[in-house]
Chain A
Amino acid sequence: MTTTAPAAEAAAAPDERLAYRGPIQRLLIRPEIGALIGAAVIWVFFWAVTDVFGTTAGVNNYLDVSASLGIMSIAVALLMIGGEFDLSSGAITGATGMLVVLLVKEVGEFGGAGFPLSVAIPLTLIFALIIGWANGTLVEKTALPSFIVTLATFFILRGAKLGFAKLFTDKVIVEGLNDAPDHGFWENVFGAVWIRNDHVWDSFLGGRNVVYGVLLTVGALLLIVGVLELMFQRRETPAQARMPVAVVGFAAGVLGLILLAATDGTSDNWLWGIVLAAGGAVGMYGMGAWRYERRADSSAAVNLTGRVGRNVAMGGGAIALGVVLGLILDAESQTEIGFLLTVQGFRAIAYAGLIITGVILLLGAARSAGKTSARTQLAITSMAAAAIVVVAFIVQSQADSRKFRAEFFAVIIGAAVLMLAFGVLRSTFVERRKPDAVADKRGRTLAMTGIAVAFTGLAVRLMWATTFENETIRGEVRWRIAVFYFIGFAIVASYLLLRTKFGSWTFAVGGNKNAARQVGVPAARTKTILFMIVSAAGWLVGMLIAFRLNSVQANVGDGNEFFYIIAAVVGGNLLTGGYGSVIGASIGAVIMAMSFQGIPFAGWNSDWRFLFVGAILLLAVLVNNYVRAKAEAAS
């Protein structure tokens, strides 16, 4: 979402130490990009192996789980960027939830204070802020590691929760929040539920799917055009005569995409796939011919020797092997071949693994070839794109579910076209090497608008049901207000971190506290406020839990601090401080929720759950590390 944000800093400072970075590079060094790739991979994986994961009901399920986790991991990420930890962040959620219930209980009944919620809720917030302030002040005054100080707070809260619950109610659970007189109003604030199955949208403009499809396509188109604008060197005067080529090409591509998605994946599929591919490629080329400066002819011939040649051979071989395995192994066979794998499972893993490896090898080879010969780069890119298209057609012809025949097919073809078109453009037109204020602004605006439009499309998809979907969804789609708090908090916190003075202070104290103090950053105050943000977020989550359940158990939230930190790390935040992102932490929370919820959706044995989570964590950190190292080395 904020992928292009650092562009502002780069453009505003014409310093020779700040070499110009292209938009792709700038994108890759963002902390959240590894998490974004990881989230996409996990989503596609579970979407492919389950029935429900990709439906509105499935999305509703894991977003619901990610809401509390995400609100906390955002706050924890801010604190981590500021260089500290808060191990009491899990316990505070349960503590505030219990406190608010005890405060509204009738006087005399289980030690209740008998306050209305309008008094009890602010009091609970004050309690949370005091805990956060105490954490921050203790860490600052004693100079002890926050790890130790907040561990003590954690134990104190944990003991107090159980102790007071037993003391007042003789039970390990406090119940009866809904007895409060003003419960109705506050339930709308913290416990509102929006059931969307009864909001059916079949008829307007031919149905929800059309609106969703158009918004998503227009968004993608704007994003592509925006990225092109950021990537390439503008011509002095645009060749207006070429404009129609771009427009017609893009129009044909969009038409092909819509018609392809509208088929159930049979007869017309091939035709629309070709229309999509040809239209998209022509549109992008036309865009280049219209607006960008043509590259001086590169005379270096195609050269497939040495390391590049080896990688091409290996990549091509891997793809070929994958295709052959995919064709000879029985896709339906449940015969066990050892280590918990059936032939079907082995085929899926080998197929996907080999082809993905092959494509990555080819793209790597294309990248290194690009340094010497643009033609070689284009040739290899075309090979990769062709391989992807072949695989797409094989999947399409073998699949028996609509999602593979139509949706997956369209996405793969689209990806191959994008890859090829970018390859062609890069070998034909000049890539920009310096800032261009007008093009930067326009490109950024287009790209951001595209992302916003595409997200609107997704929201339309999630917020309205169709009659068809209602018949196939198993159960109700209940959007809880918690999800909206999560999204809202992500936006607010991201703004706070990237666009305010306080955000810069946060990075500074996390990077080097003494240096920050010497340049005038109020380090102690910044850290204390960060601790208070964490406990305030804990208060919000405590309220959300209390209003959802009406009762809070003494152990609610204990141990969750661990998962908040994991989500932040998966989202690209460094444990050492000074680096990270709020959006990354949000994506990290969604990744955690998807990995947890994907297992029951797939009907797998839950004994393997933590093995799976561990693998995802490791993979996310490795991808993050790799991508960042590559992107920084390239600049």
Chain B
Amino acid sequence: MKKFRLVALLASLVLVIAACGSDDGDGTSTTAGGDTTATTTSDTVDLNQGSDLTFHMVTHSDDGTFWSVVKKGMEDACTAVGVNCVWSPSFNDPSKQVSDIEAAIAAGSNGIGVSLASPEAVVPAATAAVAAGIPVVTLNSGVNDYQSIGAITHIGQTETAAGNGAGLRFNSLGATKVLCAQQEQGNVGLEERCQGAVETFTGAGGVVTQFVGPDANPEEQINTILAALQADPDINAVFGVGPIVAFRAVEACSQAGRECFIGGVDNSEDVTAAIENGEINFTIDQQQYLQGYATIITLYLNNTNLNTLGGGFPILTGPGFVDTDNIAEIKALVAAGTR
């Protein structure tokens, strides 16, 4: 029985690949190609409807607060479209991620969602999956590599987009000079967040970037932000590029006796409370629920309808904003595990 099912799956895969080939071969007329696909693979479509599809999510997840929301998004999408899903967290171990991808290929997966936090280790395995005819979507991290491995799309938030969003938000708040406070030095992602804010912020004073000490040294962070504020009376906004450092800016601004606009990236209990009290204006949310949900939907639609969501471009799940206007609803959603 089980063997039969495997054979059926493989057969369907072969058909899908054939369909893809014919689609490509059809050339320019999209409507015609679409029609052809629909007619020639009609029994494949039948086969792939419903619970016969199995998708694998092979990520560097640590199953912490962030990734548990991604997982929830995956589960909800799988229930909604009625497919089987396998969640394989690697706990930041690239070698486990590679062997999980190989296992998924061997199991004849209908689609793999993969995060490329360690691209040099994981890209070959992901490329092998594409070569085996399995649709692949990268999520969370991998925006620089998804095209080279031949993935359908990348689903996540680019750091630059997060920074762009923060810059625009500070514009509308009326900030005139922003301190971009970093909690790590030489971290590409954090640099891109600050650079993104530089690109879109239009206030007269611009954006100054400063490393303010690591999260491991809370007192140093507070006092370094404070020193930057005391040294420059024009700064009236702080963009903390992490949840901890954004929360530290609250105390620094209060001690500096300055009405600051404060924005952060990602959420924490402290940040939520500070947004409720009006001490932090907003925090950027990459809406990671979407990274789980949209990955499954993309893979599903590719299997059933040969759609390529995103049209070859990455799909941004953020920046979404958590601010005073939506904090009450967001809190309920956080409790429900979807934000």
A→B interface (CB under 8 Å): 50-52, 57-58, 61-62, 64-65, 67-68, 94, 166, 170-173, 175, 474-476, 478, 545, 548-549, 551, 553, 555-560, 596-597, 600-603, 606-607, 609-610
The answer to whether A609 and B223 touch across the interface, beta carbons within 8 angstroms, is: no
The answer to whether B218 and A600 touch across the interface, beta carbons within 8 angstroms, is: no
Residues of B within 8 A of A474 (CB): 229-230, 233, 256-258
Q: How many whole Å from B207's CB to the nearest CB in chain A?
A: 13
Residues of B within 8 A of A171 (CB): 64-65, 268-269
A125 to B202 Cα, complex, angstroms: 52
The answer to whether B223 and A57 touch across the interface, beta carbons within 8 angstroms, is: no
A600 to B211 Cα, complex, angstroms: 9
A477 to B270 Cα, complex, angstroms: 25
At the interface, yes or no: B255 with Cβ under 8 Å from chain A? yes
Residues of B within 8 A of A603 (CB): 208, 228, 231-232
Residues of A within 8 A of B211 (CB): 606-607, 609
Which of A62, A556, A601, A607 interacts with B185 by CB under 8 Å?
A607
Bits for B223-258, please: 1 = Cβ < 8 Å to A, else 0.
Answer: 111111111110000000000100000000011111
Q: How many whole Å from B269's CB to the nearest CB in chain A?
A: 6
User: 16 A-B pairs, CB-CB below 8 angstroms?
Assistant: A52-B230, A58-B230, A65-B220, A65-B223, A171-B268, A173-B269, A474-B233, A478-B255, A548-B218, A553-B216, A559-B216, A600-B210, A603-B228, A603-B231, A606-B209, A607-B185
Q: How many whole Å from B109's CB to the nearest CB in chain A?
A: 30
Given known pairs A52-B231, A166-B64, A171-B65, the reply for A553 and B213 (CB within 8 Å) is: no
B interface residue count range (under 10 / 10 to 19 / 20 to 34 / 35 or more): 35 or more
A548 to B221 Cα, complex, angstroms: 13
The answer to whether B214 and A52 touch across the interface, beta carbons within 8 angstroms, is: no
Given known pairs A64-B223, A474-B257, A600-B231, the reply for A175 and B218 (CB within 8 Å) is: no
The answer to whether B270 and A476 touch across the interface, beta carbons within 8 angstroms, is: no
The answer to whether A61 and B216 touch across the interface, beta carbons within 8 angstroms, is: no
At the interface, yes or no: B219 with Cβ under 8 Å from chain A? yes
Q: Which residue of A lies closest to B68 (CB)?
A: A170
Q: Which residue of B lies closest to A166 (CB)?
A: B64
Q: How many whole Å from A178's CB to the nearest CB in chain B?
A: 12
The answer to whether A556 and B257 touch across the interface, beta carbons within 8 angstroms, is: no
Which 3 A-B pairs give the minimum distances between C-beta atoms? A475-B256, A606-B211, A600-B227
A52 to B231 Cα, complex, angstroms: 6
At the interface, yes or no: B212 with Cβ under 8 Å from chain A? yes
Given known pairs A474-B256, A478-B255, the reply for A175 and B227 (CB within 8 Å) is: no
Q: How many whole Å from A376's CB to the nearest CB in chain B?
A: 48
Residues of B within 8 A of A558 (CB): 216
A493 to B255 Cα, complex, angstroms: 32
A170 to B334 Cα, complex, angstroms: 14
Residues of A within 8 A of B199 (CB): none
Q: How many whole Å from B74's CB to the nearest CB in chain A?
A: 19
Interface centre among B185, B212, B215 (most CB of A within 10 A): B215
Q: Which residue of B lies closest to A51 (CB)?
A: B231
A600 to B177 Cα, complex, angstroms: 15
The answer to whether A602 and B270 touch across the interface, beta carbons within 8 angstroms, is: no
Given contacts A51-B231, A474-B258, 11 further A-B contacts (CB under 8 A): A52-B231, A61-B223, A61-B230, A65-B219, A170-B64, A474-B256, A475-B257, A476-B257, A553-B215, A556-B215, A601-B227
At the interface, yes or no: B217 with Cβ under 8 Å from chain A? yes
The answer to whether A600 and B224 touch across the interface, beta carbons within 8 angstroms, is: yes
Q: Which residue of B lies closest to A549 (CB)?
A: B218
Residues of B within 8 A of A64 (CB): 219, 223
The answer to whether A556 and B256 touch across the interface, beta carbons within 8 angstroms, is: no
Q: How many whole Å from B27's CB to the nearest CB in chain A?
A: 52
Given known pairs A61-B223, A475-B226, A476-B255, the reply for A606 and B233 (CB within 8 Å) is: no
The answer to whether A62 and B226 touch across the interface, beta carbons within 8 angstroms, is: no
Residues of A within 8 A of B224 (CB): 596-597, 600
Q: How many whole Å from A443's CB to the nearest CB in chain B?
A: 40
Residues of A within 8 A of B244 (CB): 553
Which of B153-207 touch A at CB < 8 Å? 185
The answer to whether B210 and A606 touch across the interface, beta carbons within 8 angstroms, is: yes
A549 to B208 Cα, complex, angstroms: 26
Residues of B within 8 A of A476 (CB): 254-257
Which of B220, B230, B270 interacts with A601 by CB under 8 Å?
B230
Given known pairs A65-B223, A474-B256, A475-B255, the reply for A555 and B230 (CB within 8 Å) is: no
Residues of A within 8 A of B216 (CB): 94, 553, 555-560
Given known pairs A65-B219, A65-B220, A555-B216, the reply for A52 and B64 (CB within 8 Å) is: no
Interface centre among A173, A557, A600 (most CB of B within 10 A): A600
A553 to B268 Cα, complex, angstroms: 11
The answer to whether A600 and B228 touch across the interface, beta carbons within 8 angstroms, is: yes
Which of B253-286 touch A at CB < 8 Å? 254-258, 268-270
Given known pairs A600-B210, A603-B232, A607-B185, the reply for A52 and B227 (CB within 8 Å) is: yes
Given known pairs A474-B233, A557-B216, the reply for A597 and B227 (CB within 8 Å) is: yes
Bits for B60-102, please: 1 = Cβ < 8 Å to A, else 0.
Answer: 0000110000000000000000000000000000000000000
Q: How many whole Å from A161's CB to the nearest CB in chain B?
A: 11
